[in-house]
Amino acid sequence: MNSERRRGHVAGLPTWDRCAVMGVVNVTPDSFSDGGRWFDTTAAVKHGLHLVTEGADLVDVGGESTRPGATRVDEAEELKRVIPVVRGLASEGVTVSVDTMRASVAEQSLAAGAALVNDVSGGLADPAMIPAVAAAGAPFVVMHWRGFLEGGNVRGTYADVVSEVVDELHARVEAVLAGGIAPDRIVVDPGLGFSKDSEHDLSLLAHLDRLSELGHPLLVAASRKRFLGRVLAGPEGAPPPARERDAATAAVSALAAHQGAWAVRVHEVRATADAVRVARAVEGAQ
Ligand code: PMM
């Protein structure tokens, strides 16, 4: 199957003729990769608009850090961080995704103009999430997730990571469908770094075709993650800091686009916007 057919289309969102670029705005004081930089509504909206000028097709707004060991923010704080940024970006015509595990945040974000709900728990963290997204008729990202990471990389044991992630995602997709979300509004995501070590992440990236066989558009979120630090570590084994992993991130974007990913989620948009365009040009070449 060629990658254009594999990539698919998500009902309720624009169509792109190549892998889409999702830029990240973390409205948090503690994200591992860009913590604290956009922890203010005006700065966050400005940053999101900047990502669009750099080539982002969608902007993913999150108010809760999911990094290992992060403590959860309460609902009121998450709403306070996220809703004004979603509203600000949506009112400028940006296609906004909201990165949340809470149904209330998803609902209010959709009311404020968000077009997509990105739930790293795939609907597991809040039982009200799937009914809320179904009722709104919104598209939904189902990420592979084995639970909260407080206290370290728990539940990260696999005999065959690719098969297990595919099977567990399949089960989540079934649950999401049973909950009333339409099949053409479901996106799947392997959840790189979530209860997975570097070898697991690399195996999943090597076998994106197996994830595509789930029959839903695929989102790949490798940006600045730990496994890239491990790949780039020098002889003394010290990984470069998160913000020095953008070239490596763009390399993954090209590989994911070439394998038919529907979208890639990145902090630094410019290099990835170039990467997905090159991948598209190669695809279109005779
Ligand atoms: N990773 C993070 C946050 N949100 N959403 C999806 N769909 N997939 C991911 O892998 C994912 C995500 C953690 O990274 P960040 O703190 O840099 O945003």
Q: Is 25 exposed, middle or buried (0-12, 13-18, 19+ CB in 10 A)?
A: buried
Return the structure tokens found at 238: 């010290």
Mean pLDDT, 10 residues at a time, over the chain (286 residues)? 71 97 90 63 95 98 82 92 97 98 98 98 96 98 87 75 98 98 98 94 97 97 96 87 96 97 98 98 91
Query: What contacts 3, CB < 8 A, 6 or more positions away?
Result: 257, 258, 259, 260, 283
In the chain, where the domains are located: 3-285
**Token pair 């404020």: residue:** 112
Return the structure tokens found at 259: 């394998």
Topology of the domain comprising 3-285: TIM Barrel (3.20.20)
**Residue 185, by phi and psi: left (phi above 0), alpha (psi -120 to 50) or beta?**
alpha
- How far apart, in Å, do the first and last CA atoms of the chain sit? 16
Catalytic residues: 225, 265
Q: How far is the CA of 140 from the centre of ligand 1 (A)?
A: 14
Q: How far is the CA of 60 from the centre of ligand 1 (A)?
A: 9
Taking the CA of residue 219 as reference, the ligand 1 atom at the shortest distance is: 7
- The whole-angstrom distance between residue 252's C-alpha and the CA centroid of its chain comes to 14
Distance CA 255, CA 150 (A): 31
Residue 38 and residue 229 in contact, taking contact as beta carbons nearer than 8 Å = no
Calculated CA dihedral for residues 111, 115, 119, 125, nearest 10 degrees: 20
**Token pair 């410019």: residue:** 270
Q: Which pLDDT does position 1 carry in this prediction? A: 44
Q: How far is the CA of 14 from the centre of ligand 1 (A)?
A: 22
pTM of the model: 0.94
Backbone angles phi, psi at 213, to 5 degrees: -65, -15
Taking the CA of residue 222 as reference, the ligand 1 atom at the shortest distance is: 10
